[in-house]
Amino acid sequence: MNTAVAQVSRSRQFYEWIIRSAQHPWALWWVNLVSFAESSFFPLPPDLMIIPMLLSQPKKAWVVAATCSISSVLGGIVGYGIGYFVYEAIGQSIIKLYHLENSFRLFQTQFQTWGFWIIMAKGLTPIPYKLVTIASGVAGLDLGKFILASMITRSARFFVLSALLWRFGPRARVFIESYLGWVMGGVLLTIVLGYVIVKVLLP
């Protein structure tokens, strides 16, 4: 019981820190930096910053959605470049870091035929985007198609999230703060689920 209480307390402290950070003048730069990095190597999604930022400042919903879409696609191009130019030197280490070697090999073969549609479908799942961007580069997917698919799927993700927070923000904040332990657990579970999906469905 004491352990559960301590975990909730730590979750609340972390949540309150993020809420304060979300109101910092540089918060928009930080969230876009995470959005950019998550597309090629960083493990955590920008949602962890976007959600508290828009809960505290819902008027920024469309600015956050637009800028995160752009920074994510730019980061995706970097991921593509890692796969295309320096996979053995850098990309391979990133894939090994997340223990996705077997899944990545299958991704490479699938990208030869279904690359564009894999990127589109990825936007509807928690599959790590960095896996998709690096695989696109290794497979030599047409860069124009890669950018187009990334723009569609990343914009859809960020604009839908921002629209929901803009519309239901006040009620969502009450819910999150009332059930903080469960919400934080759900966010972490979603991140882990993305990697599990890849390892199970792409053994």
Task: Give domain limits for the chain.
Answer: 64-203
The more confident residue out of 76 and 101 is: 76
Give the model's confidence band at 148: pLDDT under 50 very low, under 70 low, under 90 confident, else very high.
Answer: very high
* Six token digits for residue 109: 């073969």
Q: How far apart are CA 32 and CA 50, in angstroms?
A: 9
93 pLDDT more than 90: no
State the Cα–Cα distance between residues 135 and 158, nearest whole angstrom. 22
pTM of structure: 0.76
Residue of 95, 82, 63, 80 lying closest to 147 (CA atoms): 80
Higher-confidence residue of 156 and 181: namely 156
The C-alpha atoms of residue 118 and residue 123 are separated, in whole angstroms, by 9
Task: DSSP letter for 91, please.
Answer: I
Smallest Cα–Cα separation from 183: which of 193, 172, 194?
172
Least-confidence region, from 63-77, 90-104, 154-168: 90-104
Contact 162, 50 (CB under 8 A): yes
Q: What is the pLDDT of residue 101?
A: 72
| The pLDDT of residue 36 | 94
Give the pLDDT band (50/70/90) at residue 9. Answer: low
Nearest CA-CA partner of 136 in 61, 68, 66, 79: 79
Pure H helices in the chain: 2-22, 27-38, 47-56, 61-85, 92-97, 101-122, 129-139, 143-178, 180-201
d(CA 48, CA 30): 12
- Across all residues in the chain, what is the average pLDDT? 77
Whole-number pLDDT of residue 65: 95
Which is higher by pLDDT, 182 or 147?
A: 147
Q: What is the pLDDT of residue 1?
A: 47
pLDDT tens string 69-84:
999 999 999 999 998 9
Encode pLDDT of 31-70 as tens digits: 899 899 988 888 778 887 888 888 878 888 999 999 999 9
Whole-number Å distance between alpha carbons of 167 and 169: 6
